[in-house]
């Protein structure tokens, strides 16, 4: 165990340069299996209609409050397995539903599964991946999400012709990635961080040596131990997050997801089939929607361009906010924030002579400037040493010191 007192970073010194090891097949396979959590999230987005996705989103938000302590107390694998099982149950209930109540319960269980998976899988990937490849391996979650959306849209398009039971097949097939994630969760190793955090230091060291392919893991192990001891010393975590040294992290946790939503991509994902169908694509709306969504998500460098193009098309097609609101009202009776933001962001898009108001583009610009100025580069920096970045940043160092 590390001796001495801890600084505001949680670790005594920067040891990243001393980390040893290589990318083992063990890590690659484990990350691939864990990333299936992204596929069940994506599959549900693609398979659900605008109305039912709200039920899933609500249950997902609520269960996240439970998933966090479960992940911390019982490990990342435990939450991944819980998520997979919940999603399997939800898929089975939806596929065999004989009434609306059964269908709603199934949707709730899908939300529970997504809540556990989305909370545990990115953390699992971050802790298991080597420092220099953490970003690349963590992107597997996003890649799996994209592929899940694309697969769901293709299945929806194919099963549309299999009436009256095609919709059951679409919902039931959600159990496939969930089963793979559950089985994988049972076979996967727990992360060294979680084991050490829960007091299993010897086992954590053994796993770390196995996934790094070397016995020379002292530097990385010491960082994990130091960070774990600091975490255990915090008596009031929610009060502690408001301290000066934690404010940069708190700000990023608030602003980054907010900017992501305000860019409009979530609205496009949820309502693309409705919009394409309303614009005259008819029964093939899901196919066109999946093609557009896959292209946008796979090519992150063209996200802003694609969003602006979609905004202009909508502005040209729907000449008034009332017309757009009428379409949305017909597709869903729900009034959750994602729908409201969709109306505000895309409903405000209009063409009046030479005047074009595209708020999505504005938010993307604000987000880009914010990231450029206030978000430090994290490439090659261990999770346990992230706080050193804030101390070196031109702006945040004034806050944390």
User: Both 117 and 28 in a single domain?
Assistant: yes
| Close Cβ partners of 203 (under 8 Å, ≥ 6 residues apart) | 195
| Close Cβ partners of 116 (under 8 Å, ≥ 6 residues apart) | 63, 67, 70, 71, 79, 80, 82, 83, 86
User: Both 182 and 278 in a single domain?
Assistant: no
Whole-number Å distance between alpha carbons of 273 and 296: 15
User: Both 311 and 183 in a single domain?
Assistant: no
50 — pLDDT class (breaks 50, 70, 90): low
Mean pLDDT of 307-327: 51
**For residue 203, with 0-12 CB atoms within 10 Å meaning exposed, 13-18 middle and 19 or more buried, which class applies?**
middle
Domain assignment present for 340: yes
Listed residues 357, 374, 395: the one ending a domain: 357
What is the per-residue pLDDT for 305? 38
Cis peptide before 164 (omega within 30 of 0): yes
Question: What residues are paired with 355 via a beta bridge?
Answer: 352
Listed residues 188, 223, 238: the one ending a domain: 188
What is the per-residue pLDDT for 203? 94
Mean pLDDT of 100-114: 89
Domain assignment present for 291: yes
Whole-number Å distance between alpha carbons of 351 and 299: 28
- CB contact at 8 A, 312 and 358: yes
User: Both 179 and 322 in a single domain?
Assistant: no
User: Both 173 and 29 in a single domain?
Assistant: yes
Q: How far is CA 390 from the centre of its chain?
A: 24
User: Both 154 and 303 in a single domain?
Assistant: no
User: Both 177 and 318 in a single domain?
Assistant: no
User: Strand (E) positions, 238-290?
Assistant: none
Roughly how many angstroms between the first and final C-alpha of the chain, as a whole number?
26
pTM assigned to the model: 0.72
- CB contact at 8 A, 181 and 332: no
pLDDT at 309 over 60: no
Name the more confident of 385 and 374.
374
Whole-number Å distance between alpha carbons of 13 and 4: 12
The b/e string for 323-360 (b: 16+ C-beta within 10 A; e otherwise) is ebeeebeebbebeeebbebbbebbbebbeeeeeeebbb
Listed residues 188, 223, 246: the one ending a domain: 188
Nearest CA to 384 among 252, 237, 227, 228? Answer: 227
User: Both 32 and 143 in a single domain?
Assistant: yes
Domain assignment present for 214: no
CA angle 329, 333, 334 (to 5 degrees): 115
Question: What residues are paired with 357 via a beta bridge?
Answer: 350
Parent domain of 279:
264-357
What is the per-residue pLDDT for 275? 64
Domain assignment present for 220: no
208 — pLDDT class (breaks 50, 70, 90): very high
Whole-number Å distance between alpha carbons of 25 and 110: 31
- CB contact at 8 A, 382 and 16: yes
- CB contact at 8 A, 363 and 82: no
What is the per-residue pLDDT for 312? 47
In whole angstroms, how far apart are CA 233 and each of 6, 73, 227, 229? 10, 15, 10, 6
User: Both 94 and 178 in a single domain?
Assistant: yes
Name the more confident of 335 and 194.
194
Domain assignment present for 258: no
- CB contact at 8 A, 56 and 150: no
81 — pLDDT class (breaks 50, 70, 90): very high
Domain assignment present for 365: no
CATH number of the domain bearing residue 140: 1.20.1250.20
Domain assignment present for 164: yes
- Lowest-pLDDT range, 35-44, 48-57, 138-147? 48-57
User: Both 55 and 170 in a single domain?
Assistant: yes
Domain assignment present for 122: yes
Nearest CA to 124 among 147, 144, 151? Answer: 144
What total of structural domains would you count in the chain?
Answer: 2
User: Both 159 and 34 in a single domain?
Assistant: yes
User: Both 172 and 277 in a single domain?
Assistant: no
DSSP codes of every residue in 149-202: HHHHHHHHHHHTTSTTTHHHHHHHTTHHHHHHHHHHHHHSPPPHHHHHHTT-HH
What is the per-residue pLDDT for 52? 66
């Amino acid at each position: 165990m590390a001796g001495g007192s801890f600084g505001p970073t949680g670790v005594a010194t920067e040891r990243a340069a001393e980390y040893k090891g290589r990318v083992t097949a063990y890590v690659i396979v484990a990350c691939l299996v864990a990333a299936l959590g992204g596929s069940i999230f994506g599959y549900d987005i693609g398979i659900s209609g605008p109305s039912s996705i709200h039920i899933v989103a609500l249950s997902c938000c609520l269960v996240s409050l439970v998933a966090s302590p479960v992940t911390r107390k019982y490990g990342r694998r435990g939450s991944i397995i819980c998520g997979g099982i919940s999603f399997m149950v939800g898929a089975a209930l939806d596929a065999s539903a004989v009434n609306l109540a059964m269908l709603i319960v199934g949707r709730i269980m899908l939300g529970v599964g997504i809540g556990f998976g989305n909370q545990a899988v990115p953390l699992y990937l971050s802790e298991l991946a080597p420092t220099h490849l953490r970003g690349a391996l963590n992107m597997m979650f996003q890649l799996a999400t994209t592929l899940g959306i694309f697969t769901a849209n293709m299945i929806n398009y194919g099963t549309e012709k299999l009436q009256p039971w095609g919709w059951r097949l679409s919902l039931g097939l959600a159990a496939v990635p969930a089963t793979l994630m559950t089985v994988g969760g049972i076979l996967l190793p727990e992360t060294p961080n979680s084991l050490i955090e829960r007091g299993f230091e010897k086992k954590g060291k053994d796993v770390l040596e196995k996934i790094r392919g070397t016995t020379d893991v002292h530097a990385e192990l010491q960082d994990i131990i130091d960070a774990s001891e600091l975490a255990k010393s915090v008596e009031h975590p929610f009060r502690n997050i408001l301290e000066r040294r934690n404010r940069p992290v708190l700000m990023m946790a608030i602003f980054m997801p907010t900017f992501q939503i305000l860019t409009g991509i979530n609205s496009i994902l949820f309502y693309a089939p409705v919009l394409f169908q309303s614009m005259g694509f008819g029964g093939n709306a899901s196919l066109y929607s999946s093609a557009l969504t896959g292209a946008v998500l796979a090519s992150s460098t063209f996200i802003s361009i694609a969003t602006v193009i979609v905004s202009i098309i909508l502005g040209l097609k729907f000449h008034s906010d009332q017309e757009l609101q009428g379409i949305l009202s017909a597709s869903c009776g729900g009034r959750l924030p994602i729908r409201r933001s969709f109306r505000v962001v895309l409903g405000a898009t209009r063409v009046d002579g030479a005047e074009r108001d595209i708020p999505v583009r504005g938010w993307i610009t604000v987000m880009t400037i914010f990231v450029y100025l206030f978000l430090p580069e994290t490439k090659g920096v261990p999770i346990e040493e992230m706080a050193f970045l804030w101390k070196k940043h031109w702006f945040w160092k004034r806050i944390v010191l």
